[in-house]
Amino acid sequence: MASGAAGGGKEERVLLVGGNWKMNGSVDLIGQFGREDSIVSTEGVQVLVAPPSLYLVPAQAVLSPRCLLASQTVSEHGRGAFTGEISASMLMDVAIKWTLIGHSERRTLYGEDDARVRAKLCTAWAAGLSVILCVGESLQVRSQGDKAAEAFVCSQLEASLAPASGGAAATGISFDNPRPIEKDEDEAISGHDAEPAAQQHQRLVIAYEPIWAIGTGQVASAAAAQRMHAIIRHWLAAQFGPSLARHIRIIYGGSVTAAGAEELIQQVDIDGFLVGGASLKPAEFGTIIQTVKRQKAKGVQ
Ligand code: PGA
């Protein structure tokens, strides 16, 4: 599969830079983010922050509408006796419209297998949330070579997004029944002059995060990341058609820093970042955002 083959269309995609605070942060850090001028969405680059759920509402008060807020996970259940969990409809109730799903730490530390990731995705999607679906291979899989890593990532996509085999049972997400996007959300996505038409493909973002790169300081090379992003876009094209695949954002995560962002964001299929450790430093996170905005302004082939 030619690695750049599916890369066309980057200039049409709104890039996205997300900060995943994990179990870090404080009211003070929210205040620091509020004072950092570069942490702000523009027409071509969305900024998203995913603090611990306790801080979502306080962060919203300080940061909205400058950036989007996301939960780091969401329950696959609608409501009920699930101590400690947060439902998709609760997030929507307090106007938190984004969630991460399937982060590798949820998968490895909390036993979220593909079936649960899929259930969470379906529940979140049906409730109207926008989703960043995280996928990525372990070091053990990567050590078996590119093909093994690609097959693994495609199997994660398949398990989460493909229609269930055997007919009438739960299907993966569908782009056929548009939820009307509210005005403020639409503006954050596409700028103030945007058409109000719902853009369902904007509600799904794939984050490619090789596990061996997360929190290790070992970033995937730009070429290797591009190669996997192209594979993911090919998979999306086969699943949803080339037009949707052209518009769905695929972002990279795994030890992204201000220093490494420049080369990665130049790749035709890399549409932004999910940043962990470096997103806890407002100035560095702001620099990464500025790098992405500069690339957006330059235009991409
Ligand atoms: P990292 O984390 O940037 O600290 O590697 C990325 C992530 O887990 O999303």
- 209 is annotated as an active-site residue: yes
CA neighbor of 204 nearest in space, from 129, 131, 102: 131
**Geometric angle at alpha carbon 203, from 39 and 243, rounded to 5°:** 115
User: pTM for this one?
Assistant: 0.91
Q: Is 220 in the pocket of ligand 1 (CB under 6 A)?
A: no
The 3-class secondary structure across 99-112, one letter per residue, is EEECCHHHHHHCCC
Distance 279 CA to ligand 1 centre (A): 9
Residue nearest to atom 3 of ligand 1 (CA): 276
Cα 84 → chain centroid:
24
| Of 135, 256, 257, best ligand 1 pocket probe by most atoms within 8 Å of the beta carbon | 256
Residue 45's closest CA among 237, 276, 244, 261? 261
Report pLDDT for 177.
54
Predicted pLDDT at 8: 77
Tokens of 96: 């938190």
User: What pLDDT does 128 receive?
Assistant: 93
Tell me, yes or no, if 192 is annotated catalytic. Answer: no
What does the pLDDT read at residue 88? 97
Q: What is the pLDDT of residue 282?
A: 98
pLDDT at 299: 81
Task: Please give the full DSSP string across 8-57, using - where no structure is assigned.
Answer: TTGGGSPEEEEEE--S---HHHHHHHHH-TT----SSEEEEEE--GGGHH
70 neighbors 49 (Cβ within 8 angstroms):
yes
Whether 71 lines ligand 1, by a CB cut-off of 6 Å, is: no
Q: How far is the CA of 258 from the centre of ligand 1 (A)?
A: 13
What is the pLDDT at residue 220?
92
Question: Could you read off the pLDDT tens digit of each residue along the chain, which spans 301 residues?
Answer: 444 445 578 999 999 999 999 999 999 999 999 999 999 999 999 999 999 999 999 999 999 999 999 999 999 999 999 999 999 999 999 999 999 999 999 999 999 999 999 999 999 999 999 999 999 999 999 999 999 999 999 999 999 998 765 444 345 577 765 454 454 554 444 443 333 334 788 999 999 999 999 999 999 999 999 999 999 999 999 998 999 999 999 999 999 999 999 999 999 999 999 999 999 999 999 999 999 999 999 985 4
288 close to ligand 1 (CB < 6 Angstrom): no
Q: Is the CB of 3 under 6 A from ligand 1?
A: no
102 lines ligand 1 (CB under 6 A): no
Q: How far apart are CA 14 and CA 16, in angstroms?
A: 7
**Atom of ligand 1 lying closest to residue 254 CA:** 5
Give, using CA atoms, the residue closest to atom 7 of ligand 1: 276
Token reading at 255:
């030890």
Catalytic residue among 76, 150, 209, 284: 209
